[in-house]
Amino acid sequence: MDCYGIRIEKTSAVYESDPFGGKTGMAFLNACVRVRTELKPLQLIFLLKRIERLNGRADFYLEKERFSSRTLDIDILYSKDFEVDTEFLKIPHSSLFERDFFLIPLLDVVDAKDTELKSRIEHALLSLEKEKSLIIRKVRNAL
């Protein structure tokens, strides 16, 4: 499928996780999608933030609290083609290797040829497991 110049290559299973940062409340649903696009990183993130707003999310800079409940949260976690470090966007995501709700769905969609990324994800998951920091549960197979 091609939409807005974005082609979906692979989708992960859907996982449920408890709220992050010691918050209480409803569980979150997490998934990853591997895409191919000709959009530049900032073009892509502004499109994704527009999709969030169309689905009822307040602008991220208006949110009062970090890690608060939201209708939709779309992040760019990783790119094998580039790194970005701006005020609005960091690729890879600054917390990528610290959160199982990023890592486990990402492992579902990582390109089999990208052995370096797969190894880094597996290593990070082992560290989280040792710290007893895994909070994620699979609820549905691939989208």
Question: For residue 75, what pLDDT is reported?
Answer: 92
How confident is the model over 41-59, as pLDDT tens digits?
999 999 998 988 888 877 6
Angle at 94 between CA 66 and CA 39, to 5 degrees: 100
- Radius of gyration of the chain from Cα atoms? 15
Could you give the domains of the chain? 2-138 (3.30.70.560)
Mean pLDDT of the region 28-44:
93
pTM, two decimals, is 0.84
Q: What is the pLDDT of residues 18-30, one digit of tens each?
A: 876 666 677 888 9
